[in-house]
Amino acid sequence: MSFAWFNPIVAILAIPAGAAILLTLLPGYRLTSRLNVLASFLTFVSALALFVTERHSSQFFLIDDVNIGFVTLTTFVAFTTSVFSASYIGHELETGRLTPTYLRFYHAMYQALMFAMNLALVANNIGLMWVAIEMATLTTVLMVGIYRTPAALEAAWKYFILGSVGIALALFGTILVYVAARATVGEGLDAMQWTTLVAHASSFDSALLNVAFVFLLLGYGTKVGLAPLHAWLPDAHAEGPTPISAVLSGLLLNVALYALLRFKLMLATNTGAIATGSLMVAMGLLSLIFASFMLYRRRDIKRLFAYSSIEHMGIITFAFGMGGPLANFAALLHMTMHSLTKSAIFFGIGHVAQIKGTQKIADIRGLTETHPILGWGLLLGVVAIAGLPPLGIFMSEFLVVTSTFAREPALAVLLVFGILLALGALFLRANGVAFGEPCGSRAPSGASYTPMYAHLALVAMAGIYLPPPIVAWFQHVARLLG
Amino acid sequence: MRHDLFFDVAHLLAGGLVLMSFLMLYQDRLYALINVFAGHAIVLTLSVAWQAYVQDAPHLYVTAFIALGFKAIIIPIALHRIVERLGIHREIETVLNIGLTMLGGIGLVALSVVVMLRVAPGGDPLAREDLAFALSVVLLGLLMMVSRRNAVSQVIGFMSLENGLILAATGAKGMPLVVEISVAFSVLIAFIVIGIFLFRIRERFDTVDIQALDSFRGEIE
């Protein structure tokens, strides 16, 4: 079997880029939303093809075992979100919240975001990676503000300003890495090429790398949504269209974390550099505990789950910061499970908010009675995200906690405290939403629940039985991450 | 001998940029602020052009040209128009008072000098001190963004921050063109985005004061 004519790297970049242009030009909701789904599906298939192609590194692109997993997860969730988006956006058009012009813009931006995220993941050049993440930020800013309500504009403005400051700090860190590399590697593109950087990082100036990492952590950490740099995240999630909340939580935060991991790997080879892990552990724990407390005061359902994303990104960053094969394995698994579960929850919330016409938790009650399929699905999602057995997140959180207990019992106590705190808050809210006295519209929803249940089925399956090849793959990547 | 001259002029220009950042900090009128920003961009242009000459890197002239044409001319004119149209040419509301802001600025410059001169003692002194200046400009830009409430002055703060980044990028010898152009390009995009936002904000609220936006926070209990 020869695939010589087919290059998956080109495909995962060219399909979204081409689709973005095409979607700008084409009119009509039916056609464009289907095209959006089709393009996302083709990108996903191309990403799967990466597994069978040779590992590859060139001047600008890199395919290794680490980023293939990230690309696959990104393109898969992007595909299911596009299916959800098709039914969600149809409703928004009917109610007049979106006009056809904005719809065109929305679809083009959706594909542009996919392009930017894939580019960030496969970039072998730290400058190119920065450009891609900046582009992803700009496209999401535009989508968050798309409803043009005062609240949406405020959210977009806040996201834009904080995101730009973060991205500016990350660029300063990138320049410092270049300066550190230049002394050893020489001038030009080589000193920005990630594979070259890792190969030579042991001889770089440690002090300069340390300063660089602090800037990178603050910069990309803003995009990950780590406390205290998270202020943009809840607003952006709450005010934008729900498919964008799903993509933001499920994917974009991961991409920013991936950038941080790359730099962490680079510093790990330099003996004089600071322990990057402990910085990540500290920020991760802070985010987890802070977000868990904040969960109690939420009145808006999308904000509630936005804080839950901060909480989970905190756990993932913590686990990656701890390092070692077991903690990295747990972090990778947790990241995958969180992406799947959180996007499933947002799919559910999107339909709920459309039926009830509100995002206020107090006005959404008794869903299992009025809309059983939706209500039980959402409840299952909350059970999963809170980390109850036997679902996938329970398993990954359990691994994070046990591996931490073995090494740093004191930190593990804080970790468990944060997780339990979040569990309490989520159930307090979910109880009313699922079983309270029904109120609001009882109109049936014509929406498709397939994406939500598909994600939940995967999460449930992973919790009960994780196929050995997948376990082996995660273990392999966890070892690579050091 | 020639090397000393290269060194001194580069220092003079980078130091000038820090000075211009300080000038921006205490401007309390929007027109004056925009004019100082144009000056900031001109100093940046000279600095980048000097680096292009010293490093014998002709592509840096492109960066210098973008800084001059876009940041020193087009944006200040556009901002003048916006301020005029919105009728907000009176005083800027500052969150902190000017004296405290200046003291904070001095502290930030001291911080960046201490941080950057400590690291890489063996490195190239020009690159190292250039980075110290650049970091000062970046931090002063940040300070400006947090100490102002007005959307236009926040945008100017952000652009002065980007100027600091360009200073750092051009000071790092041989840094590939890809990055410089993308920096300039992202500023362009960023500005368009902000411009759109400004007009929408104007359209919806009749004010460009961010404080007015704060009242629309979704979390009303």
Strands (E), A107-199: none
Flag if A208 and B176 touch (Cβ within 8 Å). Answer: no
> Is residue A440 scored above 90 in pLDDT?
no
Q: What is the mean pLDDT of residues A268-280?
A: 86
H or E segment to which residue A82 belongs: helix A65-95
In a domain, B73, yes or no: yes
A-contacting residues in B 69-88 (Cβ below 8 Å) = none
In a domain, B177, yes or no: yes
> Is residue B186 scored above 90 in pLDDT?
no
Determine the structural domain holding residue B182 and report its residue range.
2-212
**Worst-scoring range by mean pLDDT, A8-22, A97-111, A148-162, B16-30?**
A148-162
Cis peptide before A390 (omega within 30 of 0): yes
Going by pLDDT thresholds of 50, 70 and 90, the confidence category of residue B204 is: very low
pLDDT at A320: 94
Calculate ∠ Cα B166-B169-B175, nearest 5°: 140
Query: What percent of chain A has pLDDT above 90?
Result: 48
B-contacting residues in A 220-259 (Cβ below 8 Å) = 235, 238-239
Pick A164's closest partner by Cβ from B190, B204, B217: B190
Q: How many CB atoms lie within 10 A of CB A469?
A: 8
Instruction: Write out pLDDT tens, residues B105-154.
Output: 999 999 998 888 877 655 667 677 888 999 999 999 988 888 877 777 87
Query: Which chain A residues touch B195 with a CB distance below 8 Å?
Result: none
> Is residue A306 scored above 90 in pLDDT?
yes
pLDDT at A419: 94
Pick A153's closest partner by Cβ from B174, B201, B221: B201
Q: Å from A139 to nearest chain B CA? A: 10
Which residue from A321, A257, A312, A306 is spatially nearest to A289, judged by alpha carbons? A312
Q: What is the mean pLDDT of residues A300-325?
A: 93
In a domain, B190, yes or no: yes
Q: What is the mean pLDDT of residues B198-219?
A: 49
Flag if B120 and A205 touch (Cβ within 8 Å). Answer: yes
Q: Count structural domains, chain B.
A: 1
Flag if B123 and A208 touch (Cβ within 8 Å). Answer: yes
> Is residue B16 scored above 90 in pLDDT?
yes
In a domain, B38, yes or no: yes
User: Cα–Cα distance between A88 and A15 in angstroms, integer?
Assistant: 23
CB burial of residue A136 (10 Å; 0-12, 13-18, 19+): buried
Q: Do A356 and A438 form a contact (C-beta atoms < 8 A)?
A: no
Q: Which residue has the tokens 């959006």?
A: A36
Q: What is the mean pLDDT of residues A167-171?
A: 88
In a domain, B13, yes or no: yes
Q: Is A182 on the interface with B (CB under 8 A)?
A: yes
Q: What is the ipTM of this complex?
A: 0.86
Instruction: Write out pLDDT tens, residues A113-142.
Output: 999 999 999 999 888 898 899 889 888 988
User: Cα–Cα distance between A397 and A333 in angstroms, integer?
Assistant: 9
Instruction: Write out pLDDT tens, residues A326-348.
Output: 999 999 999 999 999 999 999 99
Q: Do B30 and B150 form a contact (C-beta atoms < 8 A)?
A: yes
Going by pLDDT thresholds of 50, 70 and 90, the confidence category of residue A4 is: low
Residue spans of the domains in chain A: they are: 275-482
- By C-alpha distance, the chain A residue nearest B210 is A154
Pick A168's closest partner by Cβ from B162, B174, B197: B162
> Is residue A357 scored above 50 in pLDDT?
yes
How would you write A196-215 as a 3-class SS string?
HHHHHHHHCCHHHHHHHHHH
Query: Which chain B residues touch A179 with a CB distance below 8 Å?
Result: 120, 123, 127, 131, 172
Q: Is B117 on the interface with A (CB under 8 A)?
A: no
pLDDT at A274: 82
Q: Which one of A92-96, A311-315, B52-56 scores highest in mean pLDDT? A: A311-315
Q: Is A311 on the interface with B (CB under 8 A)?
A: no
Q: Is B188 on the interface with A (CB under 8 A)?
A: no
Q: Å from B113 to nearest chain A CA? A: 13
User: Cα–Cα distance between A374 and A320 in angstroms, integer?
Assistant: 34
CB burial of residue B62 (10 Å; 0-12, 13-18, 19+): middle
Q: What is the mean pLDDT of residues A156-164?
A: 83
Query: Which chain B residues touch A205 with a CB distance below 8 Å?
Result: 119-120, 122-123
Going by pLDDT thresholds of 50, 70 and 90, the confidence category of residue B22 is: very high
Q: Is B169 on the interface with A (CB under 8 A)?
A: yes
In a domain, B221, yes or no: no
In a domain, B217, yes or no: no
Flag if B178 and A207 touch (Cβ within 8 Å). Answer: no
Cα A63 off chain centre by: 20
User: Cα–Cα distance between A109 and A104 in angstroms, integer?
Assistant: 9
